[in-house]
Structure 1
């Protein structure tokens, strides 16, 4: 399965279509940058000594960081490049397993809904059922990401 795709407009998205991201290894820098950006310095994520004796035996990523990585992996597919207006939310988000420094994550996205908007003629709503797995094929994240997706018929390719 390819890991890089062309941008997809609303008209291109079909229920059942799937996209797979490239992999990405989580680093110490990811943990530090997330803590710096959010201000979340919880010891389970930032204190090696405390975490080594904790429930997971090591530091784990913050749940929101796992979600943010899932959105970044979607960007890496290329399908949303200049075609998505907005992230609209989720109906569910499950953090299935902890993410550790050194884990390599990869995501699969399945289009589960394509819906016209009565309030706009330039975009529609697309829902992507998202599953992120680590290098051991353990699912670490699942959720349905909802986006406002640009229509080719309104903008045309390459136009802003």
Structure 2
């Protein structure tokens, strides 16, 4: 498991390399900010009284918010700092369990593919599997992230 907070270039991203993020506790402010930013005021996320009667017994975090928090955890690891040119998308994303206010999440990332690109001599494609869990050990996010990483000069 790599704990380096140093930027990594395409050449550094060997298949099997892993990174572990710091933890982060989900707050009321996270829920409110995400709702405001996305314009998604769905009552399962924003209405305490309504959500207590719902399937989870309390408010849950937005699914897309769980993904966005995971992308922030990638950034906190540091390996993408100043070396990623673009986030190119995902092949899959699963959000199997909800996050709640007060949950602490942490993520692990593994390089699963590194590919030269005929169209670019300054960068290459790196696919990273992400798994985010909360303090209970439950996985709240799984997905892969495709990045365009700079090559060393």
Q: TM-score, normalised by structure 2?
A: 0.97
**Could you tell me how far apart the structure 1 residues matched to 2:138 and 2:61 are?**
15
Q: Which residue in the other structure is 1:86 paired with?
A: 86
Equivalent residue pairs, number: 153
**Could you tell me how far apart the structure 2 residues matched to 1:57 and 1:2 are?**
38
Post-superposition shift, 1:126?
0.4
**Could you tell me how far apart the structure 2 residues matched to 1:14 and 1:119 are?**
21
Q: Deviations over 1:133-159 (max 9, x none)?
A: 000111000001000011113xxxxxx
**Could you tell me how far apart the structure 1 residues matched to 2:70 and 2:100 are?**
15
Post-superposition shift, 1:3?
4.7
Which 5+ residue runs of structure 1 have no aligned equivalent?
154-160
Q: How does 1:1-16 map to 2 (within 5 A)?
A: 3-16=3-16
Q: How does 1:1-160 map to 2 (within 5 A)?
A: 3-153=3-153
**Structure 1 runs of 4+ with >3 Å offset:** 1-4
Q: 1:4 to 1:27 in 2, by over 3 A?
A: farther
SS in 2 for 1:111: strand
- The answer as to whether partners of 2:63 and 2:95 remain within 8 angstroms in 1 is yes
SS in 2 for 1:137: coil
Deviates more, 1:2-11 or 1:81-90: 2-11
SS in 2 for 1:33: helix
Post-superposition shift, 1:5?
2.1
SS in 2 for 1:91: coil
**Could you tell me how far apart the structure 2 residues matched to 1:118 and 1:23 are?**
38
Q: TM-score, normalised by structure 1?
A: 0.93
Post-superposition shift, 1:6?
1.0
- The answer as to whether partners of 2:51 and 2:59 remain within 8 angstroms in 1 is yes
- What is the RMSD of the two structures over their aligned residues, measured on CA atoms? 1.0
Which 5+ residue runs of structure 2 have no aligned equivalent?
none
**Could you tell me how far apart the structure 2 residues matched to 1:118 and 1:37 are?**
38
- The answer as to whether partners of 1:112 and 1:129 remain within 8 angstroms in 2 is yes
Q: Deviations over 1:24-55 (max 9, x none)?
A: 00000000000000000000000000001100
